[in-house]
Chain A
Amino acid sequence: EIVLTQSPGTLSLSPGDRATLFCRASQSVTTYVAWYQQKPGQAPRLLIEGASTRAIGIPGRFSGSGSGTDFTLTINRLEPEDFAVYYCQQYANTSPYTFGQGTKLEIK
């Protein structure tokens, strides 16, 4: 099983700041990583697929990068609605699919 470790656990920033979230895989997943955003009481929302491709309707301030074992989600110019929990997911090994434990992005 591929283990995904996200850091930091919590990130405290202000609107307008840049957020940088990390996801490390226990073995190479090439670029088969997706990122999701989840707000309280809501379903997860797909943000990024293929490590760097924004999903349909996702604003340009969201960007993803990385390959192999290290991945980054960057959110430029944070908007109030961006404060949420973010999860990475790998689909290089589909038995099982695995997720990180999440990074909570909170307002400072």
Chain B
Amino acid sequence: QVQLVESGGGVVQPGRSLRLSCAASGFPFSGYAMHWVRQVPGKGPEWVGFIWFDGSNQDYADSVKGRFTISRDNSKNTLYLQMNSLRDEDTAVYHCARGVENVVGDIFDYWGLGTLVTVSS
């Protein structure tokens, strides 16, 4: 069965960096776009960004553009989120999600449980 397991979260000071990982299994990872979505407890999800199946293209939310970078290693079935220059407002649970193309854009058919990132001094 499809499994997505995030790791790498923790407490980090403002301005510092953190790298999250998402280990995928149960499906042909290299055939799917992958997304990062974050969620502040009690609020709606916020899309962070995505990467094409082959890693050749990415796009990001304006709130993280220039600070966050998504990459993937298809040989390791792993997705990454490099987060630099972290801010208080980046505090959230970070989920990875599998993207499935639906005509004009992706729906997110499987999500991981997420990893908590807390930015605090």
Contacts and interface: CB of A to CB of B under 8 A. Distances in A.
A46 B105 contact: no
Contact of B105 (A87, A97, A100): A97
Give the size category of A's interface with B.
Answer: 20 to 34
A32 B102 contact: yes
Interface string B56-75: 00010110000000000000
A26 to B, nearest CB: 14
Chain A interface, DSSP helix/strand/loop, else mixed: loop
Interface residues of B, number: 24
B44 A50 contact: no
Given A43-B113, A43-B114, A32 B45 contact: no
Contact of A46 (B35, B46, B108): B108
Interface in B83-121: 95, 102-114
9 contacts: A32-B104, A43-B114, A44-B95, A44-B111, A91-B105, A91-B107, A96-B47, A97-B106, A99-B46
Interface of A: 32, 34, 36, 41-46, 49-50, 55, 87, 89, 91-102
